[in-house]
A = this chain, B = another copy of it.
Amino acid sequence: MEQKFASSLLESAVTELSRLPGIGRKTALRLALHLLRREPREASALGHAIIDMREGIRYCSVCHNISDDEVCPICASAARDNRTVCVVENVKDVMSIENTGEYHGLYHVLGGLISPVDGIGPDMLEIASLVERVAAGNVDEVILALSATMEGDTTNFYIYRRLADYPDVRVTQLARGVSVGNEIEYTDEITLGRSLLNRTPFADSFAL
């Protein structure tokens, strides 16, 4: 339902806020009225943070992760294993993997997955730049960390084929198996079957 507003300034703010995903006009109005009740400084900080982010943000020229500089902090770090590259779909996946604390190599952000249905071909993703990084001879292992979906599998296979020219580079992918905390009863059959085929020595689990 369209609301009638007594102020065109409120109207614009509600309209712009409701363009955000998952935010309808009712929620947008609630957010706008909240901002009106708070200090002017708070609305100003929010507005400027959004504008500055969109105008100022850059992408790392090596891995295409979000960055304030030409090269992102991860690629620039001397403490990271720069001969291992983890291929991910997007910026959020970099954050998820960083949060595990288990990975100390570099990344390569594709910017999407191959999806003929959505008209996304390999040329629209950062695959050529990945092949260049490998061709330059700086990489020992490429870890494919894409979603376990049809698009992810297609992209995995395409990259695997493109890297076939470099047999010294190990291409691996994330282990697929029963999620930690999940019950066997509720695990789907394909995952269960694959986790049987890829079973690991029990003694290895002590090391984790």
Contact indicator per residue, chain A 52-73, by CB within 8 Å of chain B (1) or not (0): 1111110010000111100011
- Interface of A, secondary structure class, is helix
- A62-118 contacts to B (CB < 8 Å): 65-68, 72-74, 90-92, 94-95, 98-99
A17 at the B interface (CB under 8 A): yes
Whether A21 pairs with B30 at a CB distance below 8 angstroms is yes
Q: Which of A8-16, A121-129, A137-145 lines the interface with chain B? A: A8-16
A interface list, Cβ under 8 A from B: 1, 3-10, 12-13, 15-17, 19-22, 27, 29-36, 40, 42-57, 60, 65-68, 72-74, 90-92, 94-95, 98-99
| Given A3-B95, A50-B47: A40 in contact with B55 (beta carbons within 8 A) | yes
Whether B57 pairs with A51 at a CB distance below 8 angstroms is no
Q: How many subunits of this chain does the assembly comprise?
A: 2
Interface centre among A3, A31, A34, A46 (most CB of B within 10 A): A46
Whether A9 pairs with B56 at a CB distance below 8 angstroms is yes
Complex Cα spacing A27 to B20, Å: 11
Complex Cα spacing A53 to B74, Å: 39
| Given A47-B48, A53-B43, A54-B40: A68 in contact with B8 (beta carbons within 8 A) | yes
CB distance from A171 to the nearest CB of B (A): 25
Whether A53 pairs with B9 at a CB distance below 8 angstroms is yes
Whether B95 pairs with A9 at a CB distance below 8 angstroms is no
Picked from B49, B67, B90, the residue with its CB within 8 Å of the CB of A6 is B67
